[in-house]
Amino acid sequence: MASARQIHVGGVPIGGGAPVAVQTMTKTETANLQATMDQIRRVAEAGADIVRVAVPRDEDVAALRTIVAQSPIPVIADIHFNHTLAIKALDAGAHCVRINPGNIGGPEKTAEVVDHAKRTGTPLRIGVNSGSLPKHLRDLEFESPVEALVTAAVEFVELMERLAFANFKVSMKSTSVPNTIASNRLLAERIPYPLHLGITEAGTKWSGSLKSAVGLGTLLADGIGDTIRISLSTFHAEEEVKVAWEILKALKLRERGPVLIACPTCGRLQFDMDTVVAEVERRLEAYDDPIEVSVLGCAVNGIGEARHADFGITGAKDMGMIYSKGEPLKKVRTEELVDELFKEIDRYYAAGRTVVRDEDEAAEAREWLAENEDATAMTPERLAAMEAAAADANGDGDKPQPLRLDEDVSPVTGRRFSRT
Ligand code: SF4
């Protein structure tokens, strides 16, 4: 249920079925050109489609003109309280201006900004914040914060329509995840305009990422939301971009760069997987292709649920194995696993995206796997598979039956196991 209408922020389409756009906001003083441009370049490199800069003073407007000219991605000017600054930002060439009609000084001043946006052909973002709702909605806010947010947004949309202006998107921000979900669901049913999603003041990188993933992920999974911003308490805006991408990648809404899969580890782990996963993640940042790379902490599952991965490693105390698409490639010493994994990945690209397999090495790896695999072990992965199969069987008689450990067969080695 993407928005029916589409706008363009610079060259980036928002809404109307366009890919969900990733945006962030610079943390620098906008007037500090050097620092702001450095951060914009970093967020663009991290994958931001759009960047927003705060414009609270005249010196920021002065810098804005240069920023717009030099930025590799479209720039949104973020304005509060001062409609004159909004008009100046439009004149400075901002690709979009964000205003909150609730704090910009009333409908007349909003109308002045809209008139100017029409003249410059610039879209606006109409932002509603739970912390700055119009006075007449304060009682409603107390009774029903969701209804108050939605009412404020709808009233601002109606104002735009009275002003014969349709080149805008809408955001409703709240620090509450349930309120963000509920209000955006309601608003998506009531208006056809693109929606910008975010959880305001979400928190630190850790808690803020989780809150945003839950809130935005729920809405995006419903098809609601056309552009997203993750708000984190960090000076490094590129971290917000990375989190946004992980959410979009997890929902398969967009692809960017490799996908890393790693088991949660358990008591079967026999090597320092924390370090290995961190190193694999770090090195994968150098690749643009959306390959899937898996890291398993032990070989008792065989390749198991990682068989679809383009490349993967599974380790044991001294030796480990590299595999590709469910097939062993080679056995290597544990301390060489990461280096050898990346050699195989580079070989794959050098051969024109073809897995290069040495049959002798593959046979040796298969043998190692057969020795280390243990299909009788009740691993987290097998328990999950059994639960999923049981749930399917309960819901539908045609679905697969639960895994039976007394007749398990390794799909890689073909080896049969028996518990009795
Ligand atoms: S059993 Fe599963 S979770 Fe435990 S270390 Fe092995 S692969 Fe990781």
> Residue 301's pLDDT is what?
81
Select from 379, 382, 383, 386 the residue to mutate for testing ligand 1; criterion: most ligand atoms less than 8 Å from CB.
379
Q: What is the pLDDT of residue 417?
A: 43
C-alpha to C-alpha distance for 166 and 416, rounded to whole angstroms: 65
The pLDDT value given to residue 404: 45
Between CA 49 and CA 302 the distance in angstroms is 40
pTM of the shown model: 0.84
Which tokens hold the place of 242?
A: 């990375």
Q: Is residue 220 within 8 Å of 2, Cβ to Cβ? A: no
pLDDT, residue 302, reads 78
Q: What is the pLDDT of residue 185?
A: 97
- What are the E-state strand segments in 109-215? 124-129, 168-173, 195-197
Distance from the alpha carbon of residue 250 to the mean position of ligand 1, in angstroms: 21
Tell me the CA–centroid distance for residue 418 and ligand 1, in Å. 21
Nearest to residue 142, comparing CAs of 133, 198, 101? 133
Q: C-alpha 99: how far from its chain's center? A: 25
Rounded-to-integer distance, Cα 45 and Cα 242, Å: 10
What is the distance in A from the centroid of ligand 1 to the CA of 307?
15
- Pairing outcome for strands 319-324 and 327-333: antiparallel
Of the candidates 163, 142, 60, 157, which has an alpha carbon nearest to the alpha carbon of residue 102? 157
Low-confidence ranges of the chain (pLDDT < 50): 397, 399-407, 410-413, 417-420
Q: Are 181 and 173 a contacting pair, CB within 8 Å? A: no
Cα-to-centroid distance, 417 and ligand 1 (Å): 19
Expressed in angstroms, the distance from the first to the final Cα of the chain is 53
Please give the torsion angle defined by the CA atoms of residues 38, 44, 46 and 52, in that order, rounded to the nearest 10 degrees. Answer: 90
Give the nearest ligand 1 atom to 264 CA. Answer: 3
H or E stretch covering 348:
helix 337-350
Which residues have C-beta atoms less than 6 Å from ligand 1? 263-266, 268-269, 296-298, 300-301, 379-381
Angle between helices 58-70 and 83-91 (to 10 degrees): 30
Number of H helices, E strands in the chain: 13, 15
Identify the DSSP state of 32: -
CB burial string 129-153: b at 16+ within 10 A, e below: bbeebbeebeebbeeebbebbbbbb
Residue 195: name the closest of 181, 205, 209 by CA: 181
Residues in the chain: 420
Probe residue for ligand 1, chosen from 269, 272, 317 as the CB with the greatest number of ligand atoms within 8 Å: 269
Token pair of 364 as six digits: 């040796």
